[in-house]
Chain A
Amino acid sequence: MTARPGFVLEVDRSTPPTLFWYGENFRLERLPRSSRILYPPEPLPAIRDVRTAIENALDNPAGDQKPLDALLFPGMQLTIAFDDVSLPLPQMTAPDIRSLVIEAVLERAAQAGVEDVQLVAALALHRRMTEGELKHAVGKRAYNALKPRGLLTQHDAEDQANMLEIGHTDQGELVEINRRAAESDLLVYVNINLVSMDGGHKSVATGLASYASIRHHHNVKTMVQSRSFMDRHSSELHSSNWRMGRLIKDAGIKIFQIETTLNTNTFPDSFRFLQRREWEWDLRDRASFVAANGALAKTPPALARQIFHSIRSPYGVTGVNAGEVEAVHDLTLAKVFEQQLVRVEGQTDILTMGLPFVGPYNVNSIMNPILVYCLSLGYFFNMYRHKPLVRKGGVVIISHPTRPEFDPAFHPSYIDFYEQVLTETTDPLIIEQKYEETFARDPWYIHLYRTGNAYHGVHPFYMWYWGAHALDHLGGVIVMGGDPKTVRRLGFKPASTLNDALEMAGSIVGANPTVTHLHSPPLVMADVY
């Protein structure tokens, strides 16, 4: 059966209440009449035989690149880098697509007599993955063969001895990446392109880079000029990464990029109502919703979080492309847009969105207030092409409990950012100028990043810059059902119900505002004309 395309629904009196994520729970809300709801296309049909698709991709590379077998030879140095735990969301059912690709590459390397192989998790400034996460990502076979020999490593952006300066771009941006990757005869990069922001030159130029290199594009100026960073051709973040990527290529570093795309089959059968449109919920879906909603409301947040984070998504693989970076990425983007893009006519005054329990930076962890800010104003707001879904000076209404909870092991610098920086100012420019350097160079945060499972000290700053374009564009942000004190700390306004939030928004955008809801799950991207 072919997947039904996405569409924009206009709310009328017979439209059933709409599902909003509310952290580790959901809400059903009645949107005002004439509001619009963006429904994403249904999950695209998955490739039945993924292993054969991978073999085909390795044998028939895109762009100016030889088949993988022709690039492997005895005595060579091979490095295989792969995306870290921030993708996909939630983690996919075993086998993870990365593990299938890595196994296929290792199989060929073994047959070709390649002795010197190393796997590198492309962490950039993210936290180190746990052993269980690594095993899931690369697969048990690769883990058991490589880990005991120290051949499965995680990129360390603070290990200066293992970084190699490639040079500067024509814009003066420093390019410095993992020495092992740079000095290898071949660097194979295995990615998962969940959204259009991922992949391309960003994989190596960011994933394997140092802080000194990443700061050239992870800053307020670049983010404000990325409109949006989900649209590569209008994104300064990507332009910078592309400049760096081309410099890496010109330096003679041979990259064999393997990009994979997934459909939006995000939730298993027990949560199938999340995948369906509300008017199509049958008796089982309605009963499941009521049972889940009621039970989760009475469940302590920590337990609800554990339940949700144990979900494994039955994603289907929709594409595997390999070869030269830019040619591969064009094919990948076409597939991502086919899955997520919905055409929308005109902007809106008020944009509503429900935030889920997980974002890229809190896998198996707590969605702290800074990540709530980043997921809403960074990711969901930027899920557009051409124009933002909400007009200049418009309002975004978020549904999330926004509790002041932090994970001290994964997000230590976030706690200090929340307590020390946000109490002073929420202006990204001032934050960048005044505080970034101190946090980025803090030896304790660096120690935790290198030896524990902590995000780099500078990471909360990047989260804040991620929302800089939205902050610049919006007239206000209201959090429905959020902890008032926490919401105010973020510079937002709290509201207890959707009606209250709409009333408050009305005072900013004027009477009779237009309302658009970004329906999630699953992921949807607006193509605004």
Chain B
Amino acid sequence: MTQSKLHYILRRPSLPGSYLRTRAHSTGADYDTAFSRTPPARIFRSLALEYLIAPVTRQIATPTLINQDVLDTLETPAVIVSNHESHLDTLLLLSVLPRRIRERAVIGAGADYFFDRRTKGFLSALLLGAIPIERTKVSRRSSDLSVELLQKGWNLILFPEGGRTPDGLPQELKAGAAQVALKVGVPILPIYLDGTYELLGKDNSRLQPGKTKVICGKPIHPQTGMRPQALIEVVRQQLEVLRAEAATDFWKARSQPRGRHFPPSSRGWREVWLDRSHRYPAKETSSWPRLFGSSRPGGRD
């Protein structure tokens, strides 16, 4: 028997394109991530995060965590929201969160990106605890799942910008995170991540190790009767201050709050240039090993 005949016998025939696929419902927002919250998956994720993902991320991103006490005293469950500059953001957050929050956290991930294929969805759910969030159309499933998990005591990590920034500047916040927090009545904690865009921005194909800052804001406890838009506005104001603090310092961010709007009023090259200046100090150092003298900081003798 020839090899091609054997191949034909062993391989399942592919479905015609026009055929209604019975398994089609299992990708995207409909992907079922329940398996990732079973004890074996949680133990596996905990070990992978503790001994592989978190140490490697800390090595690559060298995070400086500011206001750690907020995380230590945070009431759980909580909704944790952050700006979104890079794929590294999730890993960075997981690597700095205390174990008690991290091991009971799910992450809202774009259903169209992380769950478009079953293998990708499986790995995202297993390794990161990702749950699919519908970004492209209105759907109750994502918010219902989020509410259900919060009620069961899971922390929810969300990026309310709805996707990575294309240019390093923050984007408009969507109110979904606030809506969920209001519905369940849990606190919402803003965290500002600074520097991951330079490490692995949306258009970067290559990872560039460097330094990052993770600045925690104050937990916001939603008041009854508050509208989601009002709550997300409070989040936005906090993120605006934290963003200024990342570029300057605690005092300047609060005493001279002008200039760094979240999101900025326009997005030309000047905004990017002036806004990201703190990411490019005059003397650049790299923690990445480079051979043949390339690690020298400048063309000096």
- Give A residues with C-beta under 8 Å from B: 43, 45-46, 48, 50-51, 92-95, 97, 103, 106-107, 109-110, 113-115, 117, 139-142, 144-149, 151, 262-263, 265, 267-271, 307, 310-317
Contact = CB atoms under 8 A, between A and B. Distances in A.
B290 to A, nearest CB: 8
22 contacts: A43-B301, A93-B297, A95-B298, A103-B280, A107-B273, A115-B269, A139-B280, A140-B208, A141-B280, A144-B198, A144-B201, A144-B272, A148-B167, A149-B167, A149-B269, A268-B294, A269-B293, A271-B292, A312-B294, A312-B296, A314-B296, A317-B299
A45 B114 CA distance: 55
A93 B293 contact: yes
B148 interface: no
A115 B299 CA distance: 31
Contacts of B10: none
A148 to B, nearest CB: 5
Nearest to A263: B301
Contacts of A151: 269
Contacts of B277: 141
B166 interface: yes
A145 B273 contact: yes
B21 interface: no
Contacts of A103: 280
A113 B301 contact: no
Interface of B: 166-168, 197-198, 201, 203, 208, 268-270, 272-274, 276-277, 279-280, 282, 284, 290-294, 296-301
Given A43-B301, A115-B270, A312-B293, 18 more contacts: A48-B300, A93-B297, A95-B284, A95-B298, A109-B270, A110-B273, A139-B280, A140-B208, A144-B201, A262-B299, A265-B301, A267-B293, A268-B293, A270-B293, A312-B292, A313-B293, A314-B301, A317-B299
Given A269-B293, A310-B292, A316 B300 contact: yes
Nearest to B205: A131
Contact of B299 (A92, A107, A147, A267): A92
A270 B276 contact: no
A115 B270 CA distance: 7
A235 B297 CA distance: 38
Nearest to B290: A312
B300 A140 contact: no
B203 A148 contact: yes
A267 B291 CA distance: 12
Contacts of B268: 115, 149
A269 to B, nearest CB: 6
A344 to B, nearest CB: 27
Q: From DSSP, what is the main secondary structure of chain A's interface residues? A: mixed
A117 B296 CA distance: 31
A343 B301 CA distance: 26
Given A115-B268, A144-B168, A149-B167, A50 B298 contact: yes
Contact of A268 (B203, B272, B296): B296
A449 to B, nearest CB: 24
The 7 closest A-B CB pairs, nearest first, are: A268-B293, A312-B294, A141-B280, A145-B272, A311-B292, A315-B299, A316-B301
Nearest to B197: A144
Question: Which residue, of B277, B294, B299, B301, has the highest number of chain A Cβ atoms within 10 A?
Answer: B299
Contacts of A311: 292-294
B291 A310 contact: yes
A148 B167 CA distance: 7
B236 to A, nearest CB: 24
Given A115-B270, A314-B301, A145 B296 contact: no
A376 B119 CA distance: 57
Nearest to B293: A268
Nearest to A45: B301
B301 A97 contact: no
Contact of A106 (B273, B284, B293): B273
Contacts of B297: 93
A185 to B, nearest CB: 16
B149 to A, nearest CB: 35
B271 to A, nearest CB: 9
Contact of B300 (A46, A146, A270): A46
A51 B269 contact: no
Question: Which residue, of A97, A267, A268, has the highest number of chain B Cβ atoms within 10 A?
Answer: A268
Contact of B301 (A46, A50, A114, A310): A46
B292 A145 contact: no
A476 to B, nearest CB: 37
A236 B273 CA distance: 43
A117 B298 CA distance: 27
Contacts of B272: 144-145
A45 B273 CA distance: 33
A261 to B, nearest CB: 12
A270 B291 CA distance: 9
Contacts of B291: 310
B206 to A, nearest CB: 8
A145 B276 contact: yes
Nearest to A317: B299
Contact of B270 (A51, A113, A271, A317): A113
Contacts of A97: 299
Contacts of B280: 103, 139-141
Contacts of B208: 140
A145 B293 CA distance: 28
Nearest to A311: B292
Given A140-B198, A311-B292, A311-B293, A46 B299 contact: yes
Question: Which residue, of A48, A313, A314, has the highest number of chain B Cβ atoms within 10 A?
Answer: A314
A110 B270 contact: yes
A48 B292 CA distance: 22
A307 B203 CA distance: 28
Question: Which residue, of B203, B269, B296, has the highest number of chain A Cβ atoms within 10 A?
Answer: B269
A145 B267 CA distance: 10
